[in-house]
Every structure is written in structure tokens, then in C-alpha cells.
């Protein structure tokens, strides 16, 4: 396997079998990374589910009118009433002189204690499952999606590494830093999506028009929505790498990108419509970082163009200086007698 991943120069010419062998090895690495990450997520499934449930539990409005919230409020009220009644019965039993009445009051006080203790603690809001096998299947699917999320930087790195030998030495100077930036930008996108996009999107969606619906969050669509949104944010944060790469290679110039901002905004809006969550809040939260990344990419490309122009100017000045400093050839002629 190590020999199949040997360093390939731009000038090397590999056969079809060698290309397929390298592709097979890199696919095996991607599969191993995905399976290993999935197994890890399956082992730590409770922690993964708690992390994914946190945006749901932190954005629920406790005054909502859905059945679960109403039952929770009713249980708390019954528990408070039973506790207060038990205290009152004990006070009356102390003052009562009739042994039979006192025994009845004591029994009522103990019954009130049992009711108050049996009221369930108000837990965090969690998605609901509707089938017998759904808890296991959803846990397995969440582990697979989370494994893909964790392994995706490795998969992207292997993809870039496979196409890297096709780049010229000049293009490779651009591609190598881009490859190193892939995992960091992906992680930054996932973190940004988890702490910014997902909570606001869930808060808007699950609390929208709750008076007209019994709001029960089903596990399958909820986990799919959150994980696909996080994967999309990680991929969208690769925009600077793509834009800097195409500008440095020469496919499009920085000036052309800056001139065609309106088309970029249109493309960003279409991409936001195709991603999970077509509500205005989620689309706005997706469009904003994409546009900021687009503008940042233009700025970075402009700085790189300016740096490259300064380096070319210094080289030209150095060549001109060397040409002017070199002595003119002296032609010696002999006088003929």
C-alpha cells in the first residue's frame, strides 16, 4: 500500500493500472477512515445524541402548547398540590384529638408524599421515535452520518492528493497550502454551523405557529436535518480554497470576480435554497457566511496577485540591473601595415 502511494512528480507518466492501483488504495483509506469513525461514534452514541439534541433542548419555548409540554406542566402542578396538601394534613393531624381522624390525616399526608415523589423530573426535550426498531436504526444512522462528518476531512485530503500530481510545479505551490487548509476550514464550518446556524434554524422552525399544531419532533428528520446542515456548512467553508485556486491558476481573474458580484449573490441564493432548510431564517444564515467567504476569497486573491506582481517586478529590475552592469564586449582590431 505504501508503494502505491509513492510521491508522483508532474513529469511522471503512469500507466492505467498504476492510476487504478493508487485510486484503490486511496479509496481503501477513505473507507477505513469512515468505518473507524462510524464505529467510534456508535460506541459513543449517547454522547453524540446528547450533542445533537442540545440545540433542540436549548431552543424550546416552555410556554408552548404542544402535548408533551402541557403534560409536563400538569405533572408539576399535581406534584406541587400533593406536596402542599401533605404538609397541611400533617399540621391538622397534630391538632386533631380523635385518633381515627388523626390516622386518616396521616394516611392522606403519606399519600400526598407518594404522589409528589412520583412526579417525573422535567427532563430535556428529546426527539420521539414511532417504531419498534426505530431507536436502534436511528442510532445507527446517526453514527454513520457523524462518522462521515468526522472522516470527511480525510476523504477530501485523499481526493486532493490523488489529483495533485496533475498540477504543474507552479500550480502545486497553490494546491499544497490548500490541501493543508481543507480540514481546518471544514472543522470551522461545522463549529460555526453547530453554534450559529442550527440553533437559530431550529428555534424558528419548531416554534413557528405552534398554536395550530401538536409539535412532536421526530428523530429521523431531525437528526438528518442537523447532520446534513453541518456537513453542508463544512463543505461551504471550502469556498476560499476553490476561489483562490482558480484565480491563481488563471482560470478567472480577481477583477472578474469583483465585477460579477451580482452573479455570485444569485448563485449563493440558489445554493442556499438547495441545502437543508428552505425557511427564510436558515437560508439567510447560510447565505451570510457564503457571501462573507466569497468577499474574503477575493481579498486574499487580490493580496496574492499583488504579491506575485511585486515579485515579478523585482525579478525584472534585477535582470535589468544585471544587464546594465555587465561590461560591453571590447573588439580589438589590428592595424594592417
pLDDT tens digits for 294-307? 888 888 888 877 77
Environment class of residue 290 by beta-carbon count within 10 Å: exposed (0-12), middle (13-18) or buried (19+)? buried
> Residue 107's CB: how many other CB atoms inside 10 A?
12
Asked, for residue 5, whether it belongs to a domain, the answer is no
Q: Using CA atoms in the order 218, 221, 226, 229, what is the torsion angle rounded to 10 degrees?
A: -160
Facing residues of 192 across strands?
A: none
Tell me, what's the pLDDT at 321?
45
Asked, for residue 37, whether it belongs to a domain, the answer is yes
Asked, for residue 10, whether it belongs to a domain, the answer is no
Task: Select from 157, 158, 162, 156 the least CA-distant residue to 8.
Answer: 162
Q: In this structure, what C-alpha cell is assigned to residue 146?
A: 457523524
Asked, for residue 124, whether it belongs to a domain, the answer is no
Query: Are residues 299 and 213 part of one domain?
Result: yes
Query: Are residues 225 and 171 part of one domain?
Result: yes
Tell me, what's the pLDDT at 297?
82
Query: Are residues 280 and 152 part of one domain?
Result: yes
Facing residues of 201 across strands?
A: none
Query: Are residues 245 and 139 part of one domain?
Result: yes
CA–CA dist 63, 258 (Å, integer): 48
For the entire predicted model, the pTM comes to: 0.67
Answer positive or negative: Cα dihedral of 18, 21, 25, 26.
Answer: positive
Query: Are residues 112 and 137 part of one domain?
Result: no
Asked, for residue 179, whether it belongs to a domain, the answer is yes
In tens, the pLDDT along 5-48 reads 555 554 556 667 777 888 888 899 999 999 999 999 999 999 99
Task: Select from 155, 325, 149, 179 the least CA-distant residue to 241.
Answer: 179
Task: Select from 212, 52, 283, 17 the least CA-distant residue to 145.
Answer: 52
Tell me, what's the pLDDT at 336?
47
Query: Are residues 90 and 199 part of one domain?
Result: no
Residue ranges for the chain with pLDDT beneath 50: 2, 10, 321, 330, 332, 334, 336-337
Helical H runs in the chain? 16-43, 45-59, 67-95, 99-118, 134-163, 169-192, 198-206, 219-236, 239-249, 254-259, 261-274, 280-325
Tell me, what's the pLDDT at 40?
94
**CA distance between the termini of the chain:** 81
Query: Are residues 180 and 223 part of one domain?
Result: yes
Query: Are residues 289 and 175 part of one domain?
Result: yes
Asked, for residue 3, whether it belongs to a domain, the answer is no
Tell me, what's the pLDDT at 10?
47
Query: Are residues 218 and 237 part of one domain?
Result: yes
Give residue 213's domain range: 16-58+129-309
- Say how far residue 138 (Cα) sits from the centre of its chain: 20
Asked, for residue 65, whether it belongs to a domain, the answer is no
Asked, for residue 106, whether it belongs to a domain, the answer is yes
Query: Are residues 85 and 54 part of one domain?
Result: no
CA–CA dist 148, 35 (Å, integer): 9
Query: Are residues 181 and 83 part of one domain?
Result: no
Query: Are residues 276 and 163 part of one domain?
Result: yes
How many structural domains does the chain have? 2
Rounded to 5 degrees, what are φ and ψ at 128?
-105, 150
Amino acid at each position: 500500500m505504501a508503494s502505491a502511494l509513492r510521491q508522483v512528480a508532474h513529469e511522471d507518466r503512469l500507466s492505467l493500472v498504476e492510476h487504478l492501483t493508487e485510486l484503490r488504495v486511496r479509496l481503501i483509506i477513505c473507507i477505513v477512515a469512515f468505518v473507524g469513525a462510524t464505529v467510534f461514534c456508535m460506541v459513543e452514541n449517547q454522547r453524540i445524541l446528547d450533542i445533537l439534541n442540545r440545540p433542540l433542548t436549548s431552543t424550546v419555548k416552555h410556554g408552548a402548547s404542544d402535548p408533551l409540554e402541557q403534560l409536563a406542566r400538569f405533572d408539576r402542578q399535581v406534584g406541587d398540590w400533593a406536596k402542599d396538601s401533605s404538609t397541611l394534613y400533617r399540621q391538622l393531624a397534630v391538632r386533631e384529638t380523635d385518633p381515627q381522624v388523626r390516622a386518616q390525616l396521616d394516611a392522606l399526608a403519606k399519600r400526598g408524599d407518594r404522589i409528589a415523589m412520583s412526579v417525573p423530573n422535567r427532563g430535556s426535550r428529546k426527539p420521539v421515535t414511532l417504531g419498534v426498531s426505530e431507536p436502534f436504526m436511528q442510532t445507527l444512522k446517526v453514527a454513520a452520518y457523524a462518522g462521515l462528518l468526522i472522516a470527511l476531512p480525510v476523504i477530501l485530503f485523499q481526493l486532493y492528493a490523488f489529483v495533485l500530481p496533475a498540477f504543474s510545479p507552479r500550480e502545486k505551490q497553490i494546491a499544497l497550502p490548500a490541501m493543508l487548509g481543507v480540514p481546518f476550514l471544514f472543522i470551522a464550518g461545522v463549529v460555526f454551523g453547530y453554534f450559529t446556524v442550527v440553533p437559530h434554524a431550529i428555534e424558528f422552525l419548531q416554534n413557528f405557529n405552534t398554536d395550530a399544531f401538536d409539535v412532536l419532533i421526530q428523530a429521523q428528520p431531525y437528526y438528518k436535518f442537523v447532520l446534513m446542515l453541518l456537513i453542508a456548512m463544512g463543505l461551504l467553508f471550502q469556498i476560499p480554497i476553490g476561489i483562490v485556486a482558480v484565480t491563481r491558476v488563471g482560470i478567472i481573474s480577481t477583477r472578474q470576480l469583483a465585477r460579477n458580484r451580482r452573479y455570485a449573490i444569485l448563485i449563493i441564493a440558489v445554493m442556499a435554497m438547495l441545502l437543508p432548510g428552505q425557511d427564510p431564517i436558515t437560508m439567510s444564515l447560510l447565505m451570510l457566511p457564503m457571501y462573507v467567504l466569497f468577499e474574503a476569497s477575493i481579498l486574499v486573491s487580490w493580496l496574492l496577485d499583488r504579491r506575485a506582481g511585486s515579485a515579478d517586478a523585482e525579478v525584472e529590475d534585477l535582470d535589468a540591473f544585471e544587464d546594465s552592469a555587465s561590461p560591453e564586449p571590447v573588439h580589438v582590431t589590428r592595424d594592417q601595415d
